[in-house]
């Protein structure tokens, strides 16, 4: 079901979005607009939540397990 | 004492981090970043302590990151982090005379460190890129090695980017004082992970990313430091994710939203939603609040109390992380740009509560964590 919803969402977005030319991407290139704005912060927070919650993954391929306290 | 093995996770995160966010293009600047942070858990309520120490974990972390373009078609990155850990951790649970769940803690003498190293190398082509990452994480009783690969391909004049990645990791667990406490002396586990993501520019101020993830873990997945913790030897995890970024010109503010739905073969389901708002009142200053909501259901073999009458082969765990609970975390981030150097800092508070869990009518687990994280860092681009 989730796969179907995701595919529908993708089709909806691709169908409804406008082509963004390279010279229109100044705001998209801002640091806070990146999917990962701060590599160190992302790694740190991901490790904390990986250690303290039963869920993990979702950003690229998450491999290893955790036996964290 | 249980150990942190997240090198594989960190390695593959680093692989993603080394890639440009939108489009498989080579970075144009070298980046040097350092950060230091302190993670501090609140003490356990003394009235819920059956044995041990109430002072819980504290982790001091130092991180170092460098990335640079190399020649016309390559880039590389290296991340090193060091953690110093101290404090007590839960060993198990027991039933008190009045029927409530109490926590059996270790002593506060745990004092350990972890060193992690991740190296990533990326080759760029006309419309695509390919990355290879290697990672290692080592502690006294936990060693993890991993390798990951990521492929990105641009479409439609770089308005759409497809990312595919995979990873493999091997972990070795050698618990301390194994003979003294009857712990397993040596165990292994292996993880394989796959991810597919699509990033789409929606407008000059908006971008959306969706992804599907799959992780398979096999081997020793139990906690060797708990008094009774028996988990299945296989775990299959799945995720669906969505991220949205929007820039408000009239407020000079960027909005960030991230969502993840997770479910696995332990019967754990979870939802995670985070949002942050970074505003730029001046060109050299940015600041804003962050908020994150998390809720999960309990694992099929979770039990509020350790049950020693059950066969040792029957799955059971009283680990609070496998119980039904939820959490709110909230904080603030700020950055100040001085020439090519950026100074940054953040404060975050995390509070978990069984009432926020996805399952109804659950009993409170007294070991649910509450913690603060404070971080300071700087980043230099040249």
- Does any CB of chain A come closer than 8 Å to the CB of residue B295? no
Residues in B closer than 8 angstroms to A38, CB to CB, are 344, 379
- Does any CB of chain B come closer than 8 Å to the CB of residue A69? yes
Assigned domain for B52 exists: yes
Residues in A closer than 8 angstroms to B373, CB to CB, are 44-45, 48
- Does any CB of chain B come closer than 8 Å to the CB of residue A22? yes
Whether residue B371 has pLDDT greater than 80: yes
CB < 8 Å & 24+ apart, contacts of B282-288 = B283/B337, B284/B336, B284/B337, B284/B338, B285/B334, B285/B335, B285/B336, B285/B337, B286/A32, B286/B334, B286/B335, B287/B332, B287/B333, B287/B334, B287/B335, B288/B253, B288/B332, B288/B333
Tokens of A12: 């909806």
Between CA B86 and CA B341 the distance in angstroms is 33
Whether residue B327 has pLDDT greater than 60: yes
- CB distance B268 to B301 below 8 Å: no
Give the one of A27, A50, A55 whose C-beta lies nearest to B9's C-beta: A50
What pLDDT digit, counting tens, does each position of B237-274 carry? 999 999 999 999 998 999 999 999 999 999 999 999 99
Residues in B closer than 8 angstroms to A63, CB to CB, are 8-9, 11-12, 146, 148, 167-169, 191-193, 215
Give the one of B148, B200, B245 whose C-beta lies nearest to A14's C-beta: B200
Assigned domain for B344 exists: yes
* Helix (H) or strand (E) run with residue B147 in it: strand B142-155
The domain total for chain B is 1
Whether residue B17 has pLDDT greater than 50: no
Which carries the bigger pLDDT value, residue B19 or residue B200? B200
Assigned domain for B2 exists: no
Query: Which CATH number characterizes residue B138's domain?
Result: 2.40.160.40
What pLDDT digit, counting tens, does each position of B76-133 carry? 999 999 999 999 989 999 888 888 889 999 887 677 899 999 999 999 999 999 999 9
Model-level ipTM above the cut of 0.85: yes
Q: What is the model's pTM?
A: 0.90
Cβ count near B130 (within 10 Å): 15
Q: What is the pLDDT along chain A (69 residues), one digit of tens a residue?
A: 556 666 666 666 666 677 899 899 999 999 999 999 999 999 999 999 999 999 998 775 444 444 454
Residue partners of B282: CB distance under 8 A and separation at least 6: none
Cβ count near B81 (within 10 Å): 23
Tokens of B120: 């990533």
Share of chain B above pLDDT 90, in %: 77
What pLDDT digit, counting tens, does each position of B151-188 carry? 999 999 899 999 999 999 999 999 988 888 889 999 99
- DSSP helix/strand/coil, B148: strand
Mutate to test the interface with B, among A6, A39, A60, A68 (most CBs of B within 10 A): A60
* Cβ separation A27–B192 shorter than 8 A: no
Give the one of A24, A30, A54 whose C-beta lies nearest to B299's C-beta: A54
Assigned domain for B1 exists: no
Share of chain B above pLDDT 70, in %: 93
Assigned domain for B88 exists: yes
Q: Angle at which helices A39-52 and B7-17 pack, to 10 degrees?
A: 150
Question: What range defines the domain where residue B86 resides?
Answer: 7-381
Between CA B209 and CA B213 the distance in angstroms is 13
Between CA B240 and CA B235 the distance in angstroms is 17
Q: Give B174's DSSP letter.
A: -
* Cβ separation B159–A54 shorter than 8 A: no
The position carrying tokens 């790694």 is A43
Assigned domain for B289 exists: yes
pLDDT at site B32? 97
């Amino acid at each position: 079901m989730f796969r179907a919803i995701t595919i529908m969402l993708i089709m909806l977005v691709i169908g409804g979005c406008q082509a963004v030319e390279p010279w229109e991407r100044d705001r998209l290139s801002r640091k806070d607009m990146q999917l990962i704005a701060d590599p160190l912060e992302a790694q740190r927070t991901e490790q904390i939540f990986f250690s303290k919650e039963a869920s993990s993954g979702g950003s690229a391929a998450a491999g290893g397990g955790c036996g964290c306290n | 004492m249980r150990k942190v093995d997240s090198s594989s996770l960190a390695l593959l995160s680093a692989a993603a981090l080394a890639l440009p966010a939108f489009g498989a293009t080579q970075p144009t600047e070298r980046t040097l970043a350092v950060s230091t942070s302190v993670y501090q858990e609140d003490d356990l309520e003394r009235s819920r302590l059956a044995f041990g120490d109430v002072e819980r974990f504290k982790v001091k972390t130092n991180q170092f990151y460098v990335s640079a373009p190399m020649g016309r078609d390559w880039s590389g990155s290296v991340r090193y982090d060091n953690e110093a850990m101290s404090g007590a951790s839960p060993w198990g649970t027991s039933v008190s005379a009045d029927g409530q769940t109490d926590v059996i803690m270790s002593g506060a003498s745990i004092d350990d460190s972890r060193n992690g190293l991740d190296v990533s190398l990326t080759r760029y082509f006309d419309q695509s890129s390919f990355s290879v990452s290697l990672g290692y994480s080592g502690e006294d009783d936990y060693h993890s090695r991993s390798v990951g690969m990521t492929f990105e391909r641009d479409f439609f004049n770089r308005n759409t980017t497809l990312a595919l990645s995979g990873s493999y990791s091997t972990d070795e667990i050698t618990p301390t004082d194994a003979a003294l406490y009857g712990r397993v002396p040596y165990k292994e586990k292996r993880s394989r992970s796959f991810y597919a993501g699509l990033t789409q520019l929606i407008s000059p101020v908006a971008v959306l990313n969706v992804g599907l993830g799959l992780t398979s873990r096999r081997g020793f997945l139990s906690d060797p430091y708990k008094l009774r913790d028996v988990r299945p030897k296989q775990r299959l995890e799945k995720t669906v994710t969505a991220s949205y970024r929007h820039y408000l010109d009239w407020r000079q503010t960027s909005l960030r939203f991230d969502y993840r739905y997770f479910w696995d073969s332990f019967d754990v389901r979870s939802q995670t939603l985070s949002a942050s708002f970074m505003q730029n009142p001046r060109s050299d200053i940015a600041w804003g609040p962050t908020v994150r909501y998390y809720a999960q259901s309990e694992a099929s073999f979770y039990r509020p109390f350790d049950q020693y009458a059950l066969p040792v082969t029957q799955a059971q765990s009283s680990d609070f992380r496998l119980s039904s609970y939820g959490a709110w975390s909230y904080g603030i981030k700020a950055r100040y740009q001085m020439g090519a150097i950026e100074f940054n800092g953040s404060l975050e508070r995390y509070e978990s509560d069984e009432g926020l869990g996805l399952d109804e009518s659950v009993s409170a687990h007294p070991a649910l964590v509450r913690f603060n994280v404070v971080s300071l860092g700087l980043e230099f681009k040249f």
